[in-house]
Structure 1
Amino acid sequence: MINQIYRLVSPGRFEITYRDLSLNTDKVIVRPKFLSVCAADQRYYQGRREASVLKKKLPMALIHEGVGEIVFDPSNRFKIGQTVVMVPNTPVENDEVIDENYLPSSKFRSSGYDGFTQDYVFMESDRLVPIFEELDNHTSAFLELVSVAMHAVRRFKEKTHVRKEKIGIWGDGNLGYITALILKKEYPETELVVFGKNEHKLDYFTFIDEKILINDIPTGYAIDHAFECVGGRGSESAVDQIIDCIKPMGSISLLGVSELPIEINTRLVLEKGLTLFGSSRSGTIDFQETVDFLKENKDVIDYLSHLVSNVIEVSAIKHIDRAFEEDLVSSWGKTVMEWKI
């Protein structure tokens, strides 16, 4: 069969590539249905990566967040027409210590390998997780981002001490919002505080205990643990504030991606005996835990739906450009593409 792949060939420019693929395969064939634009995709689209990185990775199909419909399944694990969330991480080895998303040999879609902007995607059966009916299509499109937060919370449980009276989350964007949602369910007795710089974004956090603007943190304010969900240039000041606020022996979960190195006050880290750990991406286990979590906490789905800011129907290559441009000017939430091309 001839598969059409919609690749970014240079910043702001998509082209169609044709690839002949055999149906005599052990891979499951999935037709993408709803895709979500990620900040990492935007960095490629806008050319906000180093020239050497762009030269190495482009041309490449973007998007690593999405759900699709089963078209062909030689494994007989899925029903034809069943909706599944697609796992972008593709490991090529197993390790008894290192999670699949941290193995250097793993391949990750839309980061050096073609993402989901294709007519059909050929995937291993263990890279697909079925979703349930109550989970609407627009929200399910960005389950990958939810699984990243779920992975970070799982690691937080493994690495932190038992005292969790107050947890702080730095970042009023999508990742901070999702992380706060999960933490509120996992630790209902814990006081949850979100620190942000945009009051209109903090207004969306209706389910937390306290909201504080980063320029208005009271003197002597203290927390037990923290999540850094800022990324970019703001990572440095966020980590600096966290180190000042956090109590001795606390843990800091780092999730924000920064293109440039940041300075860290190691003197205070040592004085307080702090633990800093990073979390990035996710694996199939995190996707399954995410789906199970939402099935058990269906009210969270309603909160997640507030993140859907744009829905763009894509029936031509020019509509992909429109989705990225709309996402670029959006001040809140996620841009979802209804993939009908």
Structure 2
Amino acid sequence: MINQVYRLVYPGQFEVTYKPRTINSDKVIIRPKFLSVCNADQRYYQGKRDASVLEKKLPMSLIHEGVGEVVYDPKEEFEVGQPVVMIPNLPIEQDDHMDENYLRSSRFRSSGYDGFMQDYVFMRHDRLVPLFKELDIHTAAFLELVSVAMHGITRFNFKSHDRKQTIGVWGDGNLGYITSILLKNKYPESEVVLFGKTKRKIEYFTFIDKSYLINNIPSDVEIDHAFECVGGLGSEMAIEQIIDCIKPQGSISLLGVSEDPVEINTRMVLEKGITLFGSSRSGRNDFVDTVDFLEQNKEVISYLNHLVTKVVTINNIDDIRHAFEEDQVSAWGKTVLEWKI
């Protein structure tokens, strides 16, 4: 069969590519249904990656957040029409001491490897996780981002000490919102404190215990541990504030992505004995944990639903471009593509 793949060839310009594929393989054939635009996709679309990176990775199909419907399964492990979340990470080896998302040999869709903007996606069985009925399909579109927060919290559980009276979250964007709601449900006895930049965004965090604007943090504020969900140029200030507020021997989980190096006050990291660790992407276990968690804590789904701010129907390439432009001007939430092309 001939599969149509919709690729970004230059910043702001998409083209269709025709790729021959065979159904006589062990891959499950998935029809994408709902996709979600990520900041990483936008950086490619807007040409905000280094020129050498763009030259190396383009042309490439974007989008690594999405759900689809099973069209064909040669092993009949999935039912035809079954909704599944698609895992973008593709490991080709196993290491007993390293998660699949940190293996240098792993490939990742929409980062040097074609993403989900295709007529059909051919996937290994272990790259798919079934969804449950009560999970809103628009919200399911960005389960990958939820799994990233879940992965960071899982690592936090192993690396932090047991005193978790107060957990601070820096960042009032999508990742900060998701991380905060997961933390509040996984550590109900802990006080989750948000440190944000915009009062209007902070108002969405109705489930947290306390919040501060980052330009007005009282000098006596102390936290046991922190999550940095800012990224970009703002991550440097966020890390600096966290180091000031955190109690000795606390842990800092870095989740925000920055294109440029940031300065860190290592003197105070040493003086306070701070554990500082990074988390990136996620793997199959994180997706399974995320789906299981939401099925057992269905009240969380309604909070995640608030992140869906735009649903754009995609019938052609012009619609794709329109969706990315619309997403750029959105100050809050996730843009979901209803994939009908």
| Both proteins in one fold, TM over 0.5 | yes
Q: Does 1:265 align with 2:265?
A: yes
**Aligned equivalents of 2:266, 2:94: Cα separation in 1:** 34
Tell me the residue number matched to 1:126: 126
State the match for 2:113 in structure 1. Answer: 113
In the TM superposition, 1:74-89 aligns within 5 A as 74-89=74-89
Deviations 1:139-192 (CA, angstroms, capped at 9, x unpaired): 000000000000000000000000000000000000000000100011001011
RMSD across aligned positions (CA): 0.4
- Aligned counterparts of 2:88 and 2:332: Cα–Cα separation in 1: 24
Aligned pairs for 1:2-81 (under 5 A) are 2-81=2-81
Structure 1 segment 214-225 matched on structure 2, within 5 A: 214-225=214-225
Q: Secondary structure of the residue that 2:300 maps to in structure 1?
A: helix
Contact residue 107 and residue 113 of structure 1 kept, 8 A? yes
Deviations 1:7-39 (A, max 9, x none): 000000000000111111110000000000000
Code of the residue aligned with 1:252 in structure 2: it is I
Amino acid at match of 1:206: T
- Indicate the residue corresponding to 1:136 in structure 2: 136
Amino acid in structure 2 at the alignment position of 1:74: P
Secondary structure class of the residue paired with 1:295: helix
Contact kept in structure 2, 1:75 and 1:125, CA below 8 Å:
no
The one-letter code sitting in structure 1 at the alignment partner of 2:66 is: G
Aligned to 1:104: 104
What secondary structure, in the 3-state scheme, does the structure 2 residue paired with 1:161 have?
A: coil
Cα offset, 1:220, TM superposition:
2.3
Please list, as runs of the form range in 1=range in 2, the aligned pairs for 1:1-341 lying within 5 A after superposition.
1-341=1-341
Cα distance per residue 1:31-69 (max 9 Å; x no partner): 000000000000000000000000000000000000000
Which residue type is aligned with residue 255 of structure 1?
Answer: L
Instruction: Output the CA distance in 2 between the equivalents of 1:258 and 1:11.
Output: 20
How far apart are residue 76 of structure 1 and its match?
Answer: 1.5
Aligned partners of 1:123 and 1:21: how far apart in 2? 12
Distance 2:74 2:176 in 1: 39
What is the DSSP-based 3-state SS (H/G/I as helix, E as strand, rest coil) of the residue aligned with 1:154?
helix
**Alpha-carbon distance, 1:75 to partner:** 2.0
Give 1:74 shift.
Answer: 1.1
Aligned-partner SS, 2:150: helix
Q: TM-score, normalised by structure 2?
A: 1.00
Amino acid at match of 2:125: S
State the secondary structure of the residue aligned to 2:146: helix
Identity of aligned residues (%): 70
CA distance in 1, matches of 2:36, 2:23: 28
TM-score normalised according to structure 1 size:
1.00
For 1:248, what is the secondary structure of its paired residue? strand
Distance in 2, matches of 1:181 and 1:197, equals 18
**CA shift at 1:77, angstroms?**
1.2
Q: Secondary structure at the match of 1:215?
A: coil
In structure 2, list runs of 5 or more residues that go unmatched. none
SS of residue in 2 equivalent to 1:63: coil
Task: Provide the rounded CA distance (Å) in 2 between the counterparts of 1:278 and 1:7.
Answer: 31
Kindly provide the CA deviation profile for residues 199-249 of structure 1, in whole angstroms up to 9, marking residues without a partner as x. Answer: 000000000000100001001210000000000000000000000000000
Counterpart of 1:323, as a letter, is A
Q: Which runs of 4+ in 1 moved over 6 A?
A: none
Q: Tell me the distance in 2 between the aligned counterparts of 1:23 and 1:167.
A: 49
Give the partner amino acid of 1:49: R
Query: Aligned partners of 1:143, 1:323: CA distance in 2, in Å?
Result: 19
SS of alignment partner, residue 158 of structure 2:
helix
SS at match of 1:250: strand
SS at match of 1:322: helix
Q: Distance in 1 between matches of 2:293 and 2:201?
A: 25
Any stretches of 5+ residues in structure 1 without a counterpart?
A: none
Q: Structure 2 CA distance, aligned partners of 1:93 and 1:134?
A: 34
Q: How far does residue 136 in structure 1 lie from its aligned partner after superposition?
A: 1.0
